[in-house]
Amino acid sequence: MLKNRYRPIKSLGGGGFGKTYLAEDIDKLNEHCVIKQFAPKVQGTGALNKATELFEQEAKRLQQLDKHPQIPTLLAYFDEDNRLYLVQEFIDGQNLLAELQQQGIFKEQKIKELLLDLLDILKTVHQHKVIHRDIKPENIIRRSDGKLVLIDFGASKQLTATVMTKPGTAIGSFGYAPLEQMQGGEAYPASDLYSVGATCFHLLSGIHPWQLWQRQGYGWVASWRSHLQKPVSQKLGRILDKLFQVEYQQRYQSAEGVLRDLNPAPVIATPVSPPPSSTSTLVTPAKPQVLQQKPSRQNTNWRTRFLVGVAITIVMFVIACFRLIRYL
Q: Would you say residue 197 has pLDDT above 80?
A: yes
Does 147 lie in the same domain as 103?
yes
The secondary structure of 92-156 as a DSSP string is: -EEEHHHHHHHH-SPPHHHHHHHHHHHHHHHHHHHHTT------SGGGEEEETTS-EEE--SS-G
| Active-site annotation holds for 79 | no
pLDDT tens digit string along 259-313? 999 988 776 666 666 665 554 444 455 555 544 544 545 455 556 666 656 566 6
Query: How many domains, in total, are found in the chain?
Result: 2
Q: What CA–CA distances, in Å, run from 188 to 65, 87, 132, 181? A: 18, 27, 9, 9
Q: Which helix or strand (DSSP H or E) is residue 35 part of?
A: strand 31-38
| DSSP state letter for 175 | T
**For the chain, what percent of residues have pLDDT higher than 70?**
75
Does 144 lie in the same domain as 261?
yes
Q: Which of 73, 90, 107 is the last residue of a domain?
A: 90
Q: Which of 212, 246, 266 is the last residue of a domain?
A: 266
The CATH number for 196's domain is: 1.10.510.10
Catalytic residue among 27, 81, 134, 152: 134
pLDDT tens digit string along 168-180? 556 788 899 999 9
Does 105 lie in the same domain as 81?
no
pLDDT tens digit string along 65-74? 988 999 999 9
Evaluate if pTM is beyond 0.85: no
The CATH number for 34's domain is: 3.30.200.20
Mean pLDDT estimate for the chain: 84
Q: Would you say residue 237 has pLDDT above 70?
A: yes
| Beta carbons within 8 Å of 280's beta carbon, 6+ residues apart | none
| Beta carbons within 8 Å of 45's beta carbon, 6+ residues apart | none
Does 61 lie in the same domain as 108?
no
Calculate the CA dihedral of residues 53, 156, 154, 251 and round it to 10 degrees.
Answer: 120
Rounded Cα gap, residues 71 and 18, in angstroms: 21
Q: Would you say residue 160 has pLDDT above 50?
A: no
Rounded Cα gap, residues 103 and 199, in angstroms: 16
pLDDT tens digit string along 78-89? 999 989 999 999
